[in-house]
Chains A and B, each alone.
Chain A
Amino acid sequence: MRSKRMSLREAASLIPSGSSITLSGAILPRQPMAFVHELVRRGVRDLTVKLFVGSVGVDLLIGAGGVRRVETAYVGLGPFGLAPNFRRSAEAGRLEVEDMSESALMARFRASGYGVPYLPTKALLGTSMAEHTPNAAAAVCPFTGEQVHEVRAAHSDFTIVHGHWADEYGNVQHPVRRNTDECDQMLAKAASRLIVTVEKIVPPRVVRDNSTLTWIPHHWVEAVVEVPYGAHPGSCDGLYSEDEAHLRLYALHGKTEEGFRAYLDTYVTGVKDHWEYLERIGGIRRLCQLRM
């Protein structure tokens, strides 16, 4: 094992414009927000973003003009409404969207992690999903004659996962009490290169003494970055909850392009780094209110 520790800036610089990226998280928990902010500060463009179920992370990247195509089972702000930039860009015809159901999308990610070009699914039968993407084709099972669709492996250049803690080698762990409604481990395996941001980098002994909690082992990982509150305004289960007030503010500003431009100026492009962002959203007082 060797150290894979990097700064947020170094890790974000690995991703050129035109890349395909997969983002972790399950709607509001564990969106790699600090990493997304850094991509926006760098002006990365023309991304294809693949997600299981996404919210403010992909929406912000779309609003900053960084995304060409999204492949997803959901983009929205959960109880805070529709994702404003996703909605505006799709309605304007500026954004390609592939819609797939959760199990079909899992088949796509699983195929990539499994190392095969496609997997069959029955979840698209009778629906409109296959009509609007080149990544699904109607087929017949060679063994049973059943009708299925073959869905193409959802491979990306990079996956970015936000996790709880890791050692400097990139052994990523999660707490016993956690949100299980996610498939970040599967997403971690679906790309050529994996970047992990975590709330805290811990001494190697912490990992070794609790090795059953390791969820992403070091040999999958290219870079590990310490970013406290790196999922804000989303949540990191067990550590802090979503910032409802900030998400409402995000949804409100997102209603218009000008409003969203002002949001970006205030919270993303107008701040130097993640530390300044944390000051801007209310600093330690606000962060303490969000702690679980």
Chain B
Amino acid sequence: MSGISLPATDFTVSELMAATVARALRDDEMGFVGVGSGGRAFTLTFGIPVVAARLAQHAQAPNFSLQLGSMVSPDLSAIPSAASEASILNIRYDLYWPAAGRIQALDNMDLFTAGRGVDVGFVSAAQIDAYGNTNITCIGSHDRPRVRLVGCLAQPELMAFTRRAIVMLDLSPRVFVERVDFVTSAGYLTGGDARKRAGIPGGGPELVVTDKAVFDFEPEVKRMRLRSVHPGVTVEEVLAHMGFRPAVPDPVPETPPPSPEQVRLIREVIDPRRILLGG
């Protein structure tokens, strides 16, 4: 495709998701991306926020910084050519990606818990509920889970101690449930001012960016609200892919597509080998 002028209608859903996340980032902010999983989860938790951060740096937020695990402000124009998704997550990338610093895990967590490190937490999950609580720990009961997942990592910190969190997920009734089986990370708990009453310091989830639609949360009730549907997707289709009914405004706006320039940047400059956003 290189060298051919791309129409604005030619974009993948992951490119649309990255462009949507990019618009939500502000200049001088620090975002945090965890590391660890593979496949589509890699694209959702790692690839989309990294591409979004680079798009934001090219547009409204030239001084937006990312922290990838303990790596502070890696040079997003110099993603190492170590090639595979597996190696980008592991030791070769960790040691050879140029960055401003590599801090100790303890210092990293202290910056979260003291509320002086991170503006935007990027998360994904196995389940999210109507009030933005997320689960990456287990499906079913904790003592005898139907599916035992990985644990908690630092996702509770990403949701509790940042100014705001942005969640990336594919829409599915198994993922979007009325109540998560295990609250790994607190969203708005049972809604209203429950989060504040629980004493959780950070702001909570702001946006949920999916493959079909974008959601935010009602200002008072804090229940998930449909914010826009992607081009070509109907509201009915969105609701059919959810296990609960979100608040639905009338009319529902359409998610703005990425610009041709954003698509070009992603394909030719940021992710030419399609490691970050997948095939």
Contact, CB under 8 Å: A178 / B195: no
Q: Which of A96-104, A195-203, A262-270, A278-286 contacts B (4 or more CB under 8 A)?
A: A96-104
A179 is contacted by which of B95, B113, B200 (Cβ under 8 Å)? B95
Is B4 at the interface (CB under 8 A from chain A)? no
A179's nearest neighbour on chain B, judged by CB, is: B94
B residues less than 8 Å from A122 (CB atoms)? 113, 160-161, 199-201
Given contacts A28-B91, A103-B157, A235-B90, contact A125 B186 (CB under 8 A): yes
Beyond contacts A76-B36, A87-B147, A146-B199: 10 other A-B pairs, Cβ-Cβ < 8 A, are A53-B153, A91-B146, A101-B156, A103-B112, A103-B113, A104-B156, A126-B133, A127-B183, A181-B71, A292-B95
Contact, CB under 8 Å: B157 / A123: yes
Residues of chain B from 114 to 169 with CB closer than 8 A to chain A in the complex: 133, 137-138, 142-157, 160-161
> Which of B84, B109, B155 has most A Cβ within 10 Å?
B109
* A83 and B70 alpha carbons, distance in the complex (Å): 23
A residues less than 8 Å from B38 (CB atoms)? 78-81
Q: Which of A1-9, A33-41, A236-244 contacts B (4 or more CB under 8 A)?
A: A236-244
A residues less than 8 Å from B151 (CB atoms)? 53, 72-76, 99
* A79 and B86 alpha carbons, distance in the complex (Å): 6
* A125 and B184 alpha carbons, distance in the complex (Å): 10
B148 is contacted by which of A52, A86, A101, A132 (Cβ under 8 Å)? A86
Shortest Cβ gap from A96 to chain B (Å): 8
Contact, CB under 8 Å: B142 / A128: yes
Is A27 at the interface (CB under 8 A from chain B)? yes
> Which of B90, B183, B184, B195 has most A Cβ within 10 Å?
B90
* A72 and B183 alpha carbons, distance in the complex (Å): 16
A180 is contacted by which of B90, B104, B157 (Cβ under 8 Å)? B104
B150 is contacted by which of A29, A74, A186 (Cβ under 8 Å)? A74
A74 is contacted by which of B36, B92, B161, B185 (Cβ under 8 Å)? B36
Contact with B along A18-62 (1 / 0, CB 8 A): 000000001111000000000000000000000011000000000
A residues less than 8 Å from B94 (CB atoms)? 179, 181, 237
Contact, CB under 8 Å: B113 / A129: no
Is B63 at the interface (CB under 8 A from chain A)? no
Contact, CB under 8 Å: B148 / A73: no
Shortest Cβ gap from B215 to chain A (Å): 20
Contact, CB under 8 Å: B36 / A26: no
Contact, CB under 8 Å: B152 / A93: no
A105's nearest neighbour on chain B, judged by CB, is: B152
Is B87 at the interface (CB under 8 A from chain A)? yes
Contact, CB under 8 Å: B87 / A241: yes
A102 is contacted by which of B37, B102, B149, B157 (Cβ under 8 Å)? B157
Contact with A along B28-46 (1 / 0, CB 8 A): 0000000111100010000
* A69 and B208 alpha carbons, distance in the complex (Å): 35
Is B270 at the interface (CB under 8 A from chain A)? no
* A127 and B151 alpha carbons, distance in the complex (Å): 13
A residues less than 8 Å from B36 (CB atoms)? 27, 74, 76, 78-79
Contact, CB under 8 Å: A76 / B150: yes
Given contacts A53-B153, A102-B157, A181-B94, contact A78 B109 (CB under 8 A): no
B residues less than 8 Å from A99 (CB atoms)? 137, 142, 151-152, 182, 184
Residues of chain A from 210 to 242 with CB closer than 8 A to chain B in the complex: 235, 237-238, 241-242
Contact, CB under 8 Å: B152 / A102: yes
Shortest Cβ gap from A1 to chain B (Å): 27
Interface residues on B, range: 35 or more
Contact, CB under 8 Å: B92 / A127: no
A-B contact pairs, 15 of them (CB 8 A): A28-B90, A78-B36, A78-B86, A81-B38, A97-B148, A102-B109, A102-B153, A121-B113, A122-B200, A127-B183, A128-B183, A131-B142, A177-B95, A179-B95, A186-B106
> Which of A80, A90, A148 has most B Cβ within 10 Å?
A90
A residues less than 8 Å from B195 (CB atoms)? 126
Given contacts A91-B144, A101-B156, A128-B182, contact A75 B200 (CB under 8 A): no
Contact, CB under 8 Å: B156 / A91: no
B103's nearest neighbour on chain A, judged by CB, is: A180
Contact, CB under 8 Å: A125 / B153: no
Contact with B along A116-145 (1 / 0, CB 8 A): 000001111111110110000000000000
> Which of A29, A91, A147 has most B Cβ within 10 Å?
A91
Shortest Cβ gap from A102 to chain B (Å): 4
B residues less than 8 Å from A110 (CB atoms)? 106
Contact, CB under 8 Å: A87 / B199: no
Contact, CB under 8 Å: A127 / B186: yes
Is A106 at the interface (CB under 8 A from chain B)? yes
Is A182 at the interface (CB under 8 A from chain B)? yes
Contact, CB under 8 Å: B198 / A126: yes
Contact, CB under 8 Å: B153 / A73: yes
A residues less than 8 Å from B106 (CB atoms)? 106, 110, 183, 186
B residues less than 8 Å from A124 (CB atoms)? 156
